Amino acid sequence: MSAADTSATEPAAEPTAAERIRSVLSRAGSLTLTTDGYRCDLVGLHTVDERGRLRIRLPADSPLAARAVCAPRGTLAVLLEFTDIAPAAVRDRVRARVTLSGWLTPDAASGCGAGAGAADDEGGAGAPDLRLDAVRATLETADGTVAVGLDQLVLAAPDPLAADEAAMLTHLADAHEDVVAQLTRLADPRLLHSVIRVRPLALDRYGVTLRYEYARGHRDIRIPFPGPVREPADTGEQVQRLLAAARTCPRRRRASSRR
DSSP assigned state of 38: E
One-letter-per-residue 3-state SS of 142-159:
CCEEEEECHHHHHHCCCC
How are beta strands 207-213 and 129-141 bridged, if at all?
Answer: unpaired
pLDDT value, residue 55: 96
pLDDT value, residue 17: 98
DSSP assigned state of 1: -
Q: Which domains does the chain have, with CATH numbers?
A: 17-109+123-155 (2.30.110.10), 164-248 (3.20.180.10)
Q: Which of 4, 1, 8 is nearest to 187 (CA)?
A: 8
Q: Which of 81, 79, 135, 128 is nearest to 105 (CA)?
A: 128
Strands of 113-239 (E only): list them: 129-141, 144-148, 197-204, 207-213, 218-224
Positions in the chain whose pLDDT score sits under 50:
1, 8-10, 110-124, 254-256, 258-259
Burial of 14 (0-12, 13-18, 19+ CB in 10 A): middle
Euclidean distance between CA atoms 43 and 31, whole angstroms: 7
Collapse the DSSP code of 137 into the 3-class scheme (helix H, G, I; strand E, B; otherwise coil) and give the result. Answer: strand
User: What are the backbone dihedrals phi and psi of residue 142, each rounded to the nearest 5 degrees, phi first?
Assistant: -65, -20
Euclidean distance between CA atoms 18 and 148, whole angstroms: 6
Taking only the tens place, the pLDDT of each residue in 35-77 is 998 999 999 999 999 999 999 998 888 888 888 878 888 899 9
Global confidence as pTM:
0.87
